[in-house]
């Protein structure tokens, strides 16, 4: 017979787990329920078209989808080399205590609010980018991607250091016994055996980059176009929702929010799916 208090704790934990799981399901069903009329009337096609022009009756959210994909993937492109470099420094190259200090610093970075990043970027990065390109406002894909890269860097670094640290010690010892330098150890032993952790980190970071609102809202420019280059302004799905949310409930503008939300949700689910698949392959390999 277990003590009563332990039973209570178990029930309490079960309850909180059920609650948080049901909230996720509730949100998904809410999104589906509200975008159902769009599917039923066949209007969904209209929202997935190219071009947003309320004066002309066009409400296609495709420019925002493209904007999101470009900004998020470019952010990951910038963050990846820095992420790998940082984690290699933390878990391979530096002294233990210094590595731990660096890791604490990166953990601290996760706590910086995104609005602070964007606020500082408006005054420091945006004018610089504007003068480099000699065109546009400086509020563009490049600026947003750089700051988003800064935002997702901690996610990548924390994942990668964990992955690097979980490489079996005897592999490393074997490499060392063969006379491998730290760089050779990193390239030939650590990265190949930690690839799953690296991919997980990058995919999660991509999810964060696509889901962040404040940075793209404040420094991507929010223009209703598909950006022509890195100096072009773009609007992401998240900032589109933030910009439109105040409009009339009955308007097609407002309805497009649900389409955007659904797209973001599907994107997140894809990310979870990719991570699960990675785990599945890992199990296969072990057999």
Partner 1 sequence: MKIKLKITLLISIFTFLVAGNSLGIAGDLDPFLSVKGTLRIAGGTAHIPVMKEAAKRIMYMNRDIKITIAGGGSGVGIKQAGEGLVDIGNTGRKATDDEIKRYGLKMFKFAIDGIAVVVNPENPVASMKKTEIMDIFSGKLDNWKALGWKDRATNVYTRDASSGTRKVFWKKALKKGEITKTANFVKSHGAMKSAISVDPYGIGYISVGYLDNTVAPVSLDGISPTLENVRKGNYNIARGLYMNTKGEPSGLTRLFIDYILSKEGQKLVTEKGFIAVKQ
> Which residues make up the interface to partner 1 (CB under 8 A)?
53-55, 122-123, 126-127, 130, 134-139, 217, 221-225, 232-233, 235, 242-244, 246-249, 253
CA atoms within 13 A on the CB side of 49: 13
Nearer to partner 1 among residue 16 and residue 251 (C-beta): 251
**How many CB atoms lie under 10 A from the CB of residue 275?**
16
> Closest distance between partner 1 and the C-beta of residue 218, in Å?
9
CA 146 – CA 132 distance, rounded (Å): 14
As given in the structure block, the two tokens for residue 286 are 């072990």
Place of tokens 């409400």: 59
CA 154 – CA 172 distance, rounded (Å): 25
> Closest distance between partner 1 and the C-beta of residue 222, in Å?
4
> Closest distance between partner 1 and the C-beta of residue 212, in Å?
16
Nearer to partner 1 among residue 6 and residue 250 (C-beta): 250
Nearer to partner 1 among residue 126 and residue 194 (C-beta): 126
* Angle (CA) 140 141 142, round 5°: 95
> Closest distance between partner 1 and the C-beta of residue 198, in Å?
36
Nearer to partner 1 among residue 158 and residue 214 (C-beta): 214
> Closest distance between partner 1 and the C-beta of residue 59, in Å?
11
CA 135 – CA 133 distance, rounded (Å): 5
234 - beta bridge partners?
A: 221
Nearer to partner 1 among residue 135 and residue 282 (C-beta): 135
């Amino acid at each position: 017979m277990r003590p009563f208090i332990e039973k209570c704790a178990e029930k309490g934990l079960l309850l909180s787990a059920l609650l948080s799981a049901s909230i996720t399901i509730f949100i998904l069903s809410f999104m589906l329920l509200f975008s159902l009329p769009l599917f039923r009337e066949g209007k969904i096609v209209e929202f997935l078209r190219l071009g947003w022009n309320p004066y002309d009756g066009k409400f296609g959210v495709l420019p925002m989808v493209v904007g999101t994909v470009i900004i998020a993937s470019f952010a990951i492109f910038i963050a990846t080399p820095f992420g790998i470099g940082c984690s290699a420094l933390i878990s391979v190259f530096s002294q233990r205590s210094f590595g731990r200090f660096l890791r604490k610093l990166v953990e601290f970075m996760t706590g910086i609010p995104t609005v602070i990043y964007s606020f500082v970027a408006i005054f420091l990065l945006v004018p610089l980018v504007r003068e480099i390109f000699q065109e546009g406002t400086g509020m563009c894909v490049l600026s947003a991607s750089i700051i988003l890269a800064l935002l997702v860097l901690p996610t990548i670094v924390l994942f990668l250091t964990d992955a690097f640290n979980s490489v079996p010690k005897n592999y490393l010892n074997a490499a060392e016994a063969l006379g491998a330098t730290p760089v050779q150890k990193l390239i030939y032993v650590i990265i190949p055996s930690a690839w799953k952790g690296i991919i997980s980190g990058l995919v999660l970071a991509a999810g964060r980059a696509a889901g962040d609102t404040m940075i793209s809202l404040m420094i991507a420019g929010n223009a209703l176009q598909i950006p022509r280059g890195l100096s072009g302004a773009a609007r992401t799905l998240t900032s589109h929702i933030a910009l439109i949310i105040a409009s009339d409930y009955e308007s097609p503008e407002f309805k497009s929010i649900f389409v955007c939300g659904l797209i973001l949700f599907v994107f997140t689910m894809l990310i979870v799916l990719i991570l699960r698949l990675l785990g599945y392959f890992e199990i296969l390999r072990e057999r």
